[in-house]
């Protein structure tokens, strides 16, 4: 959990009232995330209670944020289950609170319990494909800010914290990904707006209470790593979280087959995507190993901060190298 900027109930109440969302009933820090400051807020308006998420952005600036917020608004209007940013009277969805860029989005129904099943994987795969297709006509452009350029810039700063074996692995993989990105096959990959961080803790489900036992996916959230990149990279990020054994990092073939079935029920992979899937699984593992090393060894000050274990994605990468 991370809280970099403390927001008091008085500050939140004034801010939310100015947006016309209602009277503040409760405000609590969110238990997930390490990039931004997030609070759950409960409001009441005209006797109706509603839940929202208040986010203060700690690294992203006003010039970058319109992409993420407008993408969410675009997808929500296209009937993709994502949070809708709340606007003020002028239609503006990017605000300022405590001197930081801020936004308020509706809280999705359901719950996030981290449970992974084949059925859930299939639903996530199908919705990811729908999201990719719905984003094809999104007019704004912004690169994946945690993509290859960032890896090249960041890895030198974390190398002093690694042992010789780790340093060799991370430098070798970076060289491989630079080689792949320079190739014609990579250039042929379909691309568009991607989530880029669709881990199991960024998805909500209504838990089944019927005889069939099928949980219902109610939405994706936390789009603040989104960007324009290959759809295959987005798929690989999901496969490296949803379709592995978290204790070991080992891929789970059954879960991966279910995810792929769901995705390809909506959009079939191209020949170029099938040819580079193994490379993108490695790329996705490298991306999160690098970011976790960065957060672990070069952390920012925060009122509440629990960094993720970097060793997890080191193990995932090693398995992706093994199962080529």
Instruction: Tell me the domains of the chain and their CATH numbers.
Output: 9-106 (3.30.200.20), 118-322 (3.90.1200.10)
Burial class (CB in 10 A: 0-12, 13-18, 19+), 40: middle
pLDDT at site 30: 87
Residue 172 CA to residue 178 CA, distance in Å, equals: 10
- Run means of pLDDT, 10 residues per run, the chain, 324 residues: 84 93 93 81 93 93 93 97 92 94 95 92 98 98 96 98 98 98 98 98 85 85 96 98 95 97 98 97 98 90 67 97 79
pLDDT at site 305: 55
pLDDT at site 209: 62
Indicate if the alpha-carbon torsion angle 70, 74, 76, 80 is positive or negative. Answer: negative
């Amino acid at each position: 959990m991370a809280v970099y900027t403390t927001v008091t109930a008085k500050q939140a109440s004034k801010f939310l009232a100015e947006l016309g969302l209602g009277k503040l009933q409760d405000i609590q820090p969110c238990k997930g995330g390490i990039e931004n400051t997030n609070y759950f807020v409960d409001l009441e308006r005209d006797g109706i209670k509603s839940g929202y998420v208040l986010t203060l952005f700690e690294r992203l600036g006003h010039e970058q944020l319109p992409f993420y917020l407008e993408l969410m608004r675009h997808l929500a209007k296209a009937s993709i289950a994502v949070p809708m940013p709340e606007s003020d009277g002028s239609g503006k969805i990017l605000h300022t609170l405590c001197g930081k860029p801020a936004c308020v989005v509706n809280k999705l129904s359901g719950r996030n319990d981290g449970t992974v099943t084949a059925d859930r994987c299939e639903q996530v795969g199908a919705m990811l494909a729908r999201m990719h297709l719905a984003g094809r006509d999104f007019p704004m452009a912004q690169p994946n800010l945690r993509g290859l350029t960032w890896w090249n810039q960041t890895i030198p700063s974390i190398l002093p914290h690694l042992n010789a074996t780790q340093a060799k692995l991370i430098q070798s993989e970076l060289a491989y990904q630079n080689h792949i990105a320079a190739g014609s096959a990579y250039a042929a990959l379909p691309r568009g707006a991607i989530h880029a961080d669709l881990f199991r803790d960024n998805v909500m489900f209504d838990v089944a209470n019927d005889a069939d036992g099928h949980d219902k996916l109610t939405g994706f959230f936390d789009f603040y790593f989104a960007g324009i990149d290959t759809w295959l990279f987005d798929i690989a990020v999901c496969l490296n979280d949803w379709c592995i054994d978290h204790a070991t990092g080992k891929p789970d073939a059954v879960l991966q087959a279910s995810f792929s079935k769901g995705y390809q029920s909506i959009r079939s992979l191209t020949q170029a995507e099938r040819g580079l899937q193994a490379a993108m699984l490695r790329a996705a593992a490298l991306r999160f190993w690098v970011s976790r090393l960065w957060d672990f060894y070069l952390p920012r000050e925060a009122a509440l901060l629990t960094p993720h274990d970097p060793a997890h994605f080191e193990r995932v990468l090693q398995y992706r190298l093994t199962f080529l």
